[in-house]
Structure 1
């Protein structure tokens, strides 16, 4: 299982879109990392997340890779995640933070 943590602002992403995002993240880990995703979807209550001292509209997606990735591979996956989020949620590039972490050495 490949751990993925998604922090999203409660009420900003509808249930249908959230299901699509989780499905697409699962497909990404299967195709690129050859493993099933274990997604921890966390909804941050209004007023509990801030960016630039204002209520946040950002989402964060963090994937724990089972193997070290070459930088071009990592960049392609990160771009895919950002494009997916912008397409499905209509957020801007400044409202999605994506990271893919290599295993601890």
Structure 2
């Protein structure tokens, strides 16, 4: 299984654009890398006013995709170009509104572990349970796996 994390500004894409973005990202990823691995896309939405680029509210989206460890640079670049072009065509994003990275599985796992490790060990089980519940709920209600960057846990 491959994972793609998409971080966007809340409200920047409609539900149908998100579903279409999943299709084009996964399609470009599979086509350029020649893989048929199951690919899961998870969305993280940043509330308005909580991210800035060049000292103004950001319109930047960030896509982090997992790939095989040691993927050669030429194939990595080809996949990133295809995914970027597909994203920008679909969303109308400009060249400075998408940050895209194809990351080796080992580094992807480390990134997720570092995010998990910033939660107190005693709070992690409940945090993970609530996150999984929110992802499942969003899948049922919105048709995609999504969480807000700032969860209201009360």
8 Å contact kept, 1:2–1:66: no
User: Secondary structure at 1:41's aligned position in 2?
Assistant: strand
Structure 2 unaligned blocks of 5 or more: 108-154
Cα drift, residue 28 of structure 1: 3.3
Larger radius of gyration: 2
8 Å contact kept, 1:74–1:100: yes
- Inter-CA distance 45–54: structure 2 relative to 1 (3 Å threshold): same
Aligned length: 105
2:44 match: 42
User: Secondary structure at 2:96's aligned position in 1?
Assistant: helix
Higher strand share: 1
Higher helix share: 2
Q: 2:95 aligns with which of 88, 93, 96?
A: 93
**TM-score, normalisation: structure 1:** 0.89
1:1-105 to 2 correspondences below 5 Å: 1-31=1-31, 32=33, 33-104=35-106
8 Å contact kept, 2:69–2:106: no
CA distance in 2, matches of 1:3, 1:16: 20
Cα drift, residue 73 of structure 1: 0.5
User: Secondary structure at 2:85's aligned position in 1?
Assistant: helix
CA distance in 2, matches of 1:82, 1:71: 16
CA distance in 1, matches of 2:25, 2:88: 14
**TM-score, normalisation: structure 2:** 0.63
8 Å contact kept, 2:8–2:61: yes
Q: Which protein has greater RCO, CA pairs closer than 8 Å, 6+ apart?
A: 1
Structure 1 unaligned blocks of 5 or more: none
Cα drift, residue 36 of structure 1: 1.2
